[in-house]
Amino acid sequence: MNLTRFSLLAVGSLLFLGQAAPCSSADDQKTGPIITDFYAVCNYGNVWTFSGHVLDNGSSCPINVNFGNLNSLMGKSTEVRDDGSFLLIVTLAPGESGLASAQAVEDSPQALASTVEYVGVFP
Dihedral sign (CA 17, 20, 25, 27): positive
Sheet of 77-79, strands arranged across? 77-79, 63-68, 98-106, 117-121
Quick: pLDDT tens for 19-78. Answer: 445 666 554 456 789 999 999 999 999 999 999 999 987 778 899 999 999 999 999 999
Percent of the chain exceeding pLDDT 90 equals 62
Domain map (residue ranges) of the chain: 32-121
Q: Can you give the pTM of this predicted structure? A: 0.77
Q: Which CATH architecture has domain 32-121?
A: Sandwich (2.60)
Quick: pLDDT tens for 72-105. Answer: 999 999 999 999 999 999 999 999 999 999 999 9
